[in-house]
A and B are shown apart, each in its own frame.
Chain A
Amino acid sequence: MSARLRLIAVLALLAIPSTVCAAEPAPKVDPADAIAALIDKHLSADWAARGIKPAAQTDDAEFVRRVYLDLIGRAPKAPESREFLDDDSPNKRALLVEKLLTLPGHAGHFAAVTRAAWLPQTQSNFQLANAGFQFENWLRMRYRDNTPADEVVRKILTVQFNVNSQNPMIRFVQATGTDPDNNTLVGFYQANEARAENLGSAVSRLFVGVRLECAQCHDHPFARYTREQFWEFAAFFAELNPLPANRPNLVGPVQPQSDKNRITIANTEKRVVARFFDGTSPEWTADRTPRQELADWLTHPENSYFAQNAVNRMWAHFFGYGIQDPVDEPGDNNPPSHPQLLEDLGKAFVTAGFDNRALMRGITRSQAYQLSSKMTHPSQSDPRRFAKMNLKGLTPAQLFDSMVAATGHREPGFMRQNQFNFNAQPNNPRSQFLNRFASNEKVTEANTTILQALMLMNGQFITDVTSLEKGEVLGAIVDVPGWETKQRITALFLSTFARNPSPEELEKFTSYVDRGGANNDKKKALADVFWVLLNSPEFLFNH
């Protein structure tokens, strides 16, 4: 972090109140800087306590590639890398982040990643695929508008709809009201099959950070939640599971909600009333629905679950591991690696008004985010200490978009819109890639399969983009008149790795090309080099 930013952060921590120092108000601190300072303070204290030596800071090339991938879902093109590397401004990294946040690719990337995390079933069950696309559209608009996280969740929880259950095989969720946004928003409910128990599971896992699912059928084996608590939470969505026609006679005064906050535990006769799983209940009144009560409870500034869960998931996006990991399985056997950091970040997020971009700025400004992924000391080996950046796999979309950026591949608009939809369209390279690389592995444990390796080595797409006749970027680099081989090699590296080759690499590849490669043909030798770079792990991973 630059000296100027560090100074501001220090001033923020001192936070001289304006009543004491009457002359001037305390300097306004960018919440992002406060967040960055928190991160670095806690992590460096942890390293010091454990005798951990953190990795080196990223050089500009490592940083530019990483932040493009993390923020807009693709690697930078050669001119973009070149511009950043050549820029002399002292705070160019923060400025780059600002620029990336405004690009449409940012909203698209975050919408895709968030949807995959929140509704994984839409990518493994084709009957739910449409609901996934719907909801992702809604998310894209929220990221475009930078809707605060609490408002996002509030809208999800309180959207009005009807459930059409005429067809017993599939229940349709239809938005009501006049807001057209709601039509895409209800995809969230559709993707969960409009069942209260699925919504209860999803909401607790995604927005509270507590996985209750085990308790759906029996008391949770490892955590403290009972089956009854699961169903009490699901009861906030009771309107989705209508009670049977023959109901037992009610004894006593009718509750304000009547049956709207009551649900029957599956396979039993027992009915429970909606209750938060910390044991508290809302003060039920007739004019507020259970979902509204849930939204209020969940997004209340003092609900540390919500803020910490949101922060944790954002952290996992940038660092590969959450502070609590897996992000949806907190419990006694899965404590956070830095509990105080998580708590403080939660509070900072609330103070920042649940502004996602403030959190993204804060994280990317931290020294910890800017650590290299290259291990320089064995004490960096535990990924949970964040003493180096964790290697992350690319999503299929990130991979293909980075391929497009590196190779100049041109595709028609309808192909560019293509998303994974279970069937690879022939003659559509994007579709083939998305299909072949689809996986639901953890991003820090991504594995490569044989079929993926074969596609990257021998597939039609890679053959085309590395051919002298068809490859756009390759063709341009090979044909520039007047360039030395060194310059062409450098251009190839910039296109693929966003960096200049090291002196050893430059020497090795330049002499390879000047010798003519395997066929005494310099142009073909350049194509060989391009193929090698595109198949390298340095291209295929986010490091």
Chain B
Amino acid sequence: MSMFRNLDRRHFLRAGAVSSAVSMSGILGQLAMAAEASKKKPKRSCILLWMNGGPSTIDLWDLKVGHENGGPYQEVNTTAPGLKISEHLPKIAMHGEQLAILRGMTTKEGDHARGTYLMRTGQLPGAAGIQYPSIGSLVSKELGDPKAELPNFLSIAPQRFFAQEAFGPGFLGPVHAPLIVGENQAFNNNQPANMLDESLKVADLSKPKSIDDASAAVRLDLLREMQEDFASGRPGQMAKSHAAAYDRAIRLMQSDGAKIFDLTTEKDMIRDKYGRNLFGQGCLLARRLVEKGVPFVEVSLGNWDTHGQNFEQVKNLSTTLDAAWSSLMDDLKDRGLLETTTIVWMGEFGRTPKINQGKGRDHYPNAWSTVLAGGGIKGGQAIGKTSKDGTTVEERPTTTLDLLATLCMALGIDYEKTNPSNVGRPIRIVDKPCNPITEVVA
């Protein structure tokens, strides 16, 4: 049931005509069904699992068991022969043949702000005054349908305080900005269930309960007249953008798409499987969004900045990650969506192989890991090798641009394509020099 009734007579007449026509004539009904089917044609999607704070990849994907830098964890086998990961990711290990672990990551930015910006845009902040778009905006622009009901880029529970702009659309403009849900809840990873449900909904999506449908409809009509009056005297992009944003917001309020954010319609068993925490439920929401055709969804998991007590914290985070990601992979596979959904797992940098006095690890961009999985990715392998002590990359050093170019290839995006920037210079989706890791691209 739509929350507003559009009082436009023509709209009513048109809607009435179609519904009566469908019931009277089989042809229109078949046409309607064909339209539905074409809408269900598989689209490419990308899910970014963003690990905020610098995840300790040496304790997740590239363990140095037995070495003094190794720490207390053991490795487990995955379903891919020879590929081993942390014992605290047992369910993910069952998806080993889907994972392409890039163990040769080497970047130069060990600062949260700069590292976050670099990994999420491929560039250093402030370079030449250009406002670089985040990878989500770049990808969703290529893969998304501008007329879609839902925005093409969703960001779930981001923690943007390190680098606000790295989560934005930069010079691509606000049309490619993410719709953000669950923000400012990110520190409260374990919340009572109903608060969690509410926090993952689009803020202010429902009209206030104190306003009835009739009033709401009339208000919108009057507002539209004010918007038109204003725009007629002041042509230009600002007034248009205002009216367009209101239109899109109203469409979102009235659409079925908004129901996606209501997780109470999922079975409890499924919700428990993902984990009743912000990240777990966020991944469940990501699956629902991808099912609906949203081309780019990112889900953030924070508190990876383990300068002290690394092993306790990483174990907890691994458990959270394990439940959510494995469930996500299971569900996508069951729905036949895994072939068309590429998943990328990364943070802003890794952590020091040498364990510090507080039993923690500090920032370390010199040698760390990221992971690609799913659509367009040849899993079951690790590319790149670090030294025995984990401090340097010995084989296949991989830069940020290499990773992003590989991701684009997997998604079928031409990373050399350019967009016009805010200073006029055309900017490639992924800058050069970049050497995509073709060995992991299917």
Contact = CB atoms under 8 A, between A and B. Distances in A.
B258 to A, nearest CB: 11
B162 interface: yes
A317 B244 CA distance: 27
Nearest to B113: A125
B388 interface: no
Interface in A439-462: 440-441, 444-455, 457-460
B248 interface: yes
Contacts of B241: 446-448
Given A450-B248, A518-B214, A535 B223 contact: yes
B131 interface: yes
Contacts of A444: 238
Contacts of A214: 128-129
Contacts of B217: 518
Interface stretch (A137-145, A224-232, A287-295, A524-532): A524-532
B233 interface: yes
A532 B227 contact: no
Contacts, number: 160
A102 interface: no
Nearest to B246: A453
A213 B131 contact: no
A211 interface: yes
A431 B441 CA distance: 45
Contacts of B237: 445, 447
Given A126-B161, A450-B151, A391 B210 contact: no
Interface string B226-244: 1100110111111101111
A176 B250 CA distance: 56
Interface residues on chain B, size class = 35 or more
A393 B236 CA distance: 13
A264 B76 CA distance: 50
B298 interface: no
B164 A422 contact: yes
B72 interface: no
Contacts of A127: 112-113, 162
A126 B241 CA distance: 29
A127 B236 CA distance: 37
A391 B163 contact: no
A449 B173 CA distance: 10
Contacts of B160: 422
A538 B179 CA distance: 26
B263 to A, nearest CB: 19
A535 B224 CA distance: 10
Which among A123, A374, A452, A537 has the greatest number of chain B C-beta atoms within 10 A? A537
Contacts of B423: 329
A440 B126 CA distance: 13
B322 interface: no
A463 interface: yes
A135 B219 CA distance: 44
Contacts of A445: 237-238
Interface string A452-496: 111101111001000100000000000000000000000000000
Contacts of A356: none
A26 interface: no
A448 B236 contact: no
A119 B276 CA distance: 41
Interface in B87-123: 111-113
Contact of A329 (B129, B177, B179, B206): B129
6 contacts: A213-B126, A447-B245, A449-B245, A453-B248, A458-B207, A528-B218
